[in-house]
Structure 1
Amino acid sequence: MTEPYRRRWPALALLLSAVFMDMVDNQIVNIALPTIQHDLGAQPSALQWTATGYTLAFALTLIIGGRLGDRYGHRALFVLGTAGFGVSSLVAGVAPNVTVLLAARVAQGVFAGLMVPQVLSFIHTEFPENEQGKAMGFYGMTFPIGGLAGPLLGGLLTEADLFGWHWRTIFLVNVPIALAAAVGAALVMPARGRDRAGRRGGIDVPGVLVLAAALLSVLYPLVQGRELGWPAWVFVLMAAALPLLALFVAQQRSRERHGREPLVRIGLFDNRAMAVGIVIMLIFYCGMGAFFVLTLHLQDGVGYSPLKTALTMLPATVGIVAGNGIGMPLAPKLGRLLPVVGLVLLLAGSAWMLAAVTGYGSGLTPWQLAVPVLLYGAGLGLGASSLMLITLAGTSTADAGAASGVVNTVVQLGAAAGPATIGTAFFNRLGTDGNFVAATRTGLVIGLALFGVALLACFLLPRRAA
């Protein structure tokens, strides 16, 4: 029996610091978006791409990040990803214009997709079975803690205006953390974990490119269409997503038939929990784009400071932590009932927020949003955790890694599509008469509709999780 790696716990602490940094960076930028827009003179579409570009790049890189780690070593990929994340954060922090900022955000997403998958691989390969539960517990705690710290840190740093850097501090703060994590991992993580034999066919680069083209053919027109006046080619490009997805499926099946490793094994979706769960999760996370427009409304429409906006959103994070804590142990027992309850809470919170935004207008206070935002967060925590467990429950052990990669990728795609779709409707309505209340109401109604569709689709899930 192989002796467990002696320094596995210090190494895990370094790995989790990178996951924390990624979660903070994913959340921190939303609070600062209006300030960035005013400082750089950015168009509304640039705000959407600042959020969407990161998550889209992260989603596409997640698919291959874990496999590259298996092939070239988890330590090598983690150090590369963390160092690259630090450099791209530095570029974002000193960006002279919005073009450089967007390029840096995409680079951040790519490098995050290289470093984050190595954490689960490290836990699986370096910890004995009797310690894996504890290690996974620390890993699971990092997400809500990062989600809690992100908006608060974003509000504090933007408003504090340290060294006159203003919003730039939210990116520059990553640099010392990334440097410490990269150097520490190079010294503490084991060199083993490399798949010297490799797998036939290598990494499916054509598959990545086809999938990226399919996703961009939808997201690019949605984000840019309004500013371009919705020309005909925009709709042609969106329609092209269907044949591109069909090409992707055919290409993946062909690789399997020829004994090559596919990017996504299509047979995974023969399982009803996986097939239905993936669709629900995509709709679920897309509906969360309503929070993106609410953040803009509170700052630009009502006049909140970044810190006040972050504190207004704080009950959502409390709800997420509570919902996640309840959902994880109960999902195997209650099955599809749990995401149904989560989506009912989301619908109630969204409807309450919609009523508050409409009823109070420019006089809206944080206290009037506290309960609906708490309900919204609880629904997110309960629904997200239970949907993920139910979706993964029916997969075989041999497919567990691939299924986890698919689920995490869909989560990121939904998070990217949310600001793109709901943000487009928000800015389109805002451009009509400059009415923030009406524009925010439009975004919240779309979010409500998406959660309603997800709720109905939950009844197609198996009654019980495996």
Structure 2
Amino acid sequence: MNSPSAEVPSLKAGGKPPVSNPPMSLVHELLFVFMTASAQLMTQAGLGQTIAPSHIIGKAFGTTNGGQLSWFPASYSLTVGTFILIAGRLGDMYGHKNMFMFGYAWYSLWSLISGFSVYAKSAIMYDVCRALTGIAPAFLLPNALAILGRVYPPGKRKQWAFCMFGATAPNGFLLGAVFSGIFAQLAWWPWAYWCTCIVCFFFCLASYFIIPDIQEDTNQEKASEKQHFDYLGSFFGIAGLVLINFAWNQGPVVGWQIPYVYVLLIVGFLSLLVFLYVEHKTIQPLLPPDALNGEIGFILVCIAAGWACFGIWIYYLWNFFEVMRNSTPLLTVAQMAPVGISGCVAAATTGKLMSRFRPIVCMIISMVAFTVGSILLATAPIHQTYWAQTFVATIVTPWGMDMSFPAATLVISDFVSKENQGIAASLVSTVVNYSISIGLGIAGTIEVHLNHKGTNILRGYRSAWYMGIGFGGLGVGVSLIAAVFIFTKASRRGPDVENLGVTNDDKKSDFSV
């Protein structure tokens, strides 16, 4: 196979000359892809190690309230989704490799503190630690994707790299769930976080040697970018996302009638309006103009709907196993094992499909997978054998994860210029993680109000899944509309354009595999 530097991407209209990156051997390239993909692996592992032993951790802090337990994963996803946008921008300014290493160093530190939060005897302290831990994946994800976007020009090799990146999502979740389940059931749950601390510290050191020093812009250009960093937009953007997310997830816990809940929600929306105004006026906005168009808008709406559906699916499936079917954490992990296998098959299939069809085709299939997986769980009886609907759901749903994520990131990466790769990667990751947290907040509200004050737990779970079905159905509808829009636009441009976001000049530089 040719090394990533063997082909040089052609110039896009208005773009800068391609940078020359150091060549890599095959072994080095495999390690490089693994190291960048570890960002997705550890992000989802952090979610899995929070969800799997949530009831055991809740008992350690003296809480069994469903709304409070949902804060454990929601607080983590909140900061992952909130800080990704500025983390990608900081990567564009200060170097993606530097921000990637910082992400692992931060992950290691707060995983260590998360384990020691057991001595605080406070669920709030644990939530704060998980929220601060979530800042680490916010730096890892966009900068890892930006590194891939800079090293690989549009082509088959880039498609496979992005598919491998997406394939680590379900397996990362299982990895985190397995080890947290082992420690929670057989030893002590804080050890899961202390082991994560050690692993992240190792990845931080390894990334220094494995990830090549990508040639960035000149120092003069960097200095110009630093002067125009959108501090005001960053403040209002983060404030709006945090306040809205906090209100959505706190509402089920204390009730929506509490004044501070809806006041913070209103202030959050106002902050986002100010953010949009500032972005429109600033010299160098957080969201570059080439990352905002009709196609990308449709893609991001699909991602938001599909991953909100997934967040509800995975959280309530875990609760369904442990609460309704009385499964131990380790047995639950074993029952979730097909997710990882199916995810790998889905990723390989996605690579083949995207080499032949437009990414919107993968998006439609992924939205259908999300929806069908939720329907199977919402209608599954408690005492039904696992091998019926539940097993099928664990096979189907990963296709939603591992087709939607690489398709969306590839589309946006190919659309924007090389100097905005960090922002491009940030968009998808922000929407994915923020949607998970928002979806859990909405589902938690529905569960609390429809489970008859805790006397009908199954009704609450199924009602949450019905909300997930609604999100999935929205994704299917939007993806179909997007397909009509994109194919109509492509037919007007002519039959030569074979892939969304990839020009004819770009396609000449495709790698042969």
Q: TM-score of the superposition, structure 1-length normalised?
A: 0.85
Could you say if the C-alpha distance between residues 460 and 437 of structure 1 is closer, same or farther in structure 2, counting changes exceeding 3 Å? same
Residue equivalent to 2:123: 98
- Are positions 1:309 and 2:309 aligned together? no
Could you say if the C-alpha distance between residues 439 and 405 of structure 1 is closer, same or farther in structure 2, counting changes exceeding 3 Å? same
* AA aligned opposite 1:98: A
Structure 2 distance, partners of 1:372, 1:385, is 21
Could you say if the C-alpha distance between residues 18 and 174 of structure 1 is closer, same or farther in structure 2, counting changes exceeding 3 Å? farther
Please list, as runs of the form range in 1=range in 2, the aligned pairs for 1:206-245 lying within 5 A after superposition: 206-231=232-257, 233=259, 234-245=261-272
Residue equivalent to 2:22: 4
Could you say if the C-alpha distance between residues 400 and 371 of structure 1 is closer, same or farther in structure 2, counting changes exceeding 3 Å? same
Partner SS for 1:432? coil
Unaligned runs of 5+ in 2: 1-18, 488-498, 501-513
Residue equivalent to 2:279: 252
Residue equivalent to 1:81: 103
Q: Is the 8 A contact 2:20 2:215 kept in 1?
A: no
Please list, as runs of the form range in 1=range in 2, the aligned pairs for 1:302-451 lying within 5 A after superposition: 302-331=325-354, 333-334=357-358, 336-356=360-380, 360-361=381-382, 363-368=383-388, 369-389=390-410, 401-430=422-451, 432-451=453-472
Q: Is the 8 A contact 1:253 1:266 kept in 2?
A: no
Could you say if the C-alpha distance between residues 273 and 420 of structure 1 is closer, same or farther in structure 2, counting changes exceeding 3 Å? same
Q: Percent identity?
A: 18
Match of 1:285 among 307, 320, 338: 307
Please list, as runs of the form range in 1=range in 2, the aligned pairs for 1:169-208 lying within 5 A after superposition: 169-186=191-208, 193=215, 196-197=219-220, 198=222, 199=225, 201-208=227-234
Residue equivalent to 1:298: 321
1:290, distance to aligned residue in structure 2 (A): 2.8
1:400, distance to aligned residue in structure 2 (A): 5.2
Partner SS for 1:95? helix
Structure 1 distance, partners of 2:370, 2:91, is 37
Q: Is the 8 A contact 1:422 1:446 kept in 2?
A: yes
1:272-298 CA-to-partner distances (Å, cap 9, x unmatched) read 111222122112211112321221121
Structure 1 distance, partners of 2:125, 2:95, is 31
Structure 2 distance, partners of 1:406, 1:266, is 13
Partner SS for 1:41? coil
Q: Is the 8 A contact 1:152 1:310 kept in 2?
A: no
Which range moved further: 19-28 or 307-316?
19-28
Could you say if the C-alpha distance between residues 448 and 122 of structure 1 is closer, same or farther in structure 2, counting changes exceeding 3 Å? closer
Structure 2 distance, partners of 1:216, 1:3, is 38
Q: Is the 8 A contact 1:264 1:402 kept in 2?
A: yes
Structure 1 distance, partners of 2:169, 2:306, is 21
* AA aligned opposite 1:330: L
1:290-312 CA-to-partner distances (Å, cap 9, x unmatched) read 32122112112221111121222
1:184, distance to aligned residue in structure 2 (A): 3.1
Residue equivalent to 2:10: none
Q: Is the 8 A contact 1:273 1:392 kept in 2?
A: no
Q: Is the 8 A contact 2:141 2:429 kept in 1?
A: no
Could you say if the C-alpha distance between residues 74 and 373 of structure 1 is closer, same or farther in structure 2, counting changes exceeding 3 Å? closer
1:146, distance to aligned residue in structure 2 (A): 5.0
Partner SS for 1:173? helix
Match of 1:117 among 121, 124, 142: 142
1:37, distance to aligned residue in structure 2 (A): 1.2
Q: Is the 8 A contact 1:273 1:394 kept in 2?
A: no
1:246, distance to aligned residue in structure 2 (A): 2.0
Structure 1 distance, partners of 2:212, 2:394, is 43
Q: Is the 8 A contact 1:249 1:266 kept in 2?
A: no
Partner SS for 2:117? coil
Could you say if the C-alpha distance between residues 54 and 138 of structure 1 is closer, same or farther in structure 2, counting changes exceeding 3 Å? same
Structure 2 distance, partners of 1:412, 1:404, is 13
- Are positions 1:52 and 2:74 aligned together? yes
1:442, distance to aligned residue in structure 2 (A): 0.4
Unaligned runs of 5+ in 1: none
Structure 2 distance, partners of 1:72, 1:338, is 34
Structure 1 distance, partners of 2:290, 2:36, is 32
Greater per-residue helix proportion? 1
Could you say if the C-alpha distance between residues 457 and 19 of structure 1 is closer, same or farther in structure 2, counting changes exceeding 3 Å? closer
* AA aligned opposite 2:253: E
Match of 1:22 among 43, 48, 53: 43
Question: How many pairs were matched up?
Answer: 454
